[in-house]
């Protein structure tokens, strides 16, 4: 079974939403049994729930992330991942610099869709910003799924 790790800053907005979206997309394509999707944050405090607006935004899409608890990225996470999808170039730089032996596993989520753009953090913004963020991540996942599956 392969492991896809989705990484953002605090692991309360983007990465839990992206992990939920990716799990849902893998389920639609019926390949989820072969892949696990986890998330973590480069500056996360362990045990924090997903933000209220992240939970609400995902619920609107039929995805339940209400039991999510934040997790700080560590060596075991990086070493165990087959693919690490990050939200920003800064996340990519930090993960690749901290664990250079695994830098080849680190990719921007947007790169899966042939782009090179950061996914902006909606933290503490209105729900509309969360929805826009989720829509962006869904587009990257949907159009980049074939690339994601190739990399794992």
| Cβ atoms of 139 and 25 closer than 8 Å | no
What's 26's domain CATH number? 3.40.50.2300
- Domain with 11 in it: 2-151
Q: Give the per-residue pLDDT at 7.
A: 98
Among the options 8, 13, 77, 133, which is catalytic?
A: 8
Q: Give the per-residue pLDDT at 34.
A: 82
8 is catalytic: yes
Residue 135's closest CA among 68, 59, 70, 58? 58
Among the options 13, 14, 25, 105, which is catalytic?
A: 14
Tell me the per-residue pLDDT of 93-124, one tens digit each, with 9 for 90 and over: 999 999 999 999 999 999 999 999 999 999 99
Q: Give the per-residue pLDDT at 27.
A: 87
121 is catalytic: yes
Per-residue burial over 64-103, b if 16 or more Cβ lie within 10 Å, else e, is ebeebebbebeeebbeebebbbbbbeebbebbbeebeebe
Among the options 82, 118, 121, 142, which is catalytic?
A: 121
What is the rounded distance in angstroms from the CA atom of residue 63 to the CA atom of residue 7? 19
Q: Is the pLDDT of residue 82 over 80?
A: yes
Q: How many domains, in total, are found in the chain?
A: 1
């Amino acid at each position: 079974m392969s492991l896809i790790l989705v990484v953002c800053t605090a692991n309360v907005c983007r990465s839990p939403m992206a992990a939920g979206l990716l799990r849902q997309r893998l389920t639609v394509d019926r390949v989820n049994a072969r892949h696990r999707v986890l998330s973590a944050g480069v500056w996360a405090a362990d045990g924090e729930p997903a933000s209220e607006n992240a939970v609400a935004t995902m619920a609107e899409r039929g995805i339940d992330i209400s039991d999510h608890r934040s997790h700080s990225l560590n060596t075991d996470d990086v070493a165990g991942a087959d693919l690490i999808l990050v939200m920003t170039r800064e996340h990519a730089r930090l993960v690749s610099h901290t664990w250079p032996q695994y830098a080849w596993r680190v990719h921007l989520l947007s790169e899966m869709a042939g782009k090179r753009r950061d996914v902006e953090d909606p933290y503490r913004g209105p729900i509309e910003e969360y929805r826009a963020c989720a829509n962006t991540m869904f587009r990257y996942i949907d159009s980049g799924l074939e690339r994601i599956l190739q990399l794992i």
